Structure 1
């Protein structure tokens, strides 16, 4: 099982692929969204405690400086899951309008494997 972050943006954000501390890679685009993923056991964008995580200062800064609306998920991959399974789970939440509107702030609480919508 592995932890990570996935971000879906409403426009391409190549800067996500250039950040040293938690370099994201582009999984591709679908439904006018660009999906970026990074594996993270160190808690760069959030601090995890069981099924709950809290945004860090870096996480708040990163999500609010993208320059576009986005969706965010702090995830834990289950056995036999891969990148595309996480992407699919996020896309289902977005299309099903079950993404939770989030106003990022330091220490805001998130549930692992839930999709959050952040508007700029």
Structure 2
């Protein structure tokens, strides 16, 4: 979130083995990892970082309220999501989501997000 407040942001991404250590010594950049895995270059992580910043800017995703509901915004993983049709091979969304009680729906989403975060982190 703090990066979206910057006037400029330069993302330097390595290719194959990384970035020349002299660049790191001279520029002292903030180093960022998007996870413990190996890619052939830093272009994909750079795009992921850029996208995660840009979507926080006004009018990019249709409204800041949408961003505040996103996974990770509050440090939690997302709750399960359900779309149409209502029945998919005999599986339906939890009844609380179909009842129209927004307070109960919000409580269910929060509980499921906490549960997902505990299980997956």
TM-score, scaled relative to structure 1 = 0.26
More helix by share: 2
More strand by share: 1
- Asked which structure has the greater RCO (Cα within 8 Å, sep 6+), the reply is 1
Which structure would you say has the larger Rg?
Answer: 2
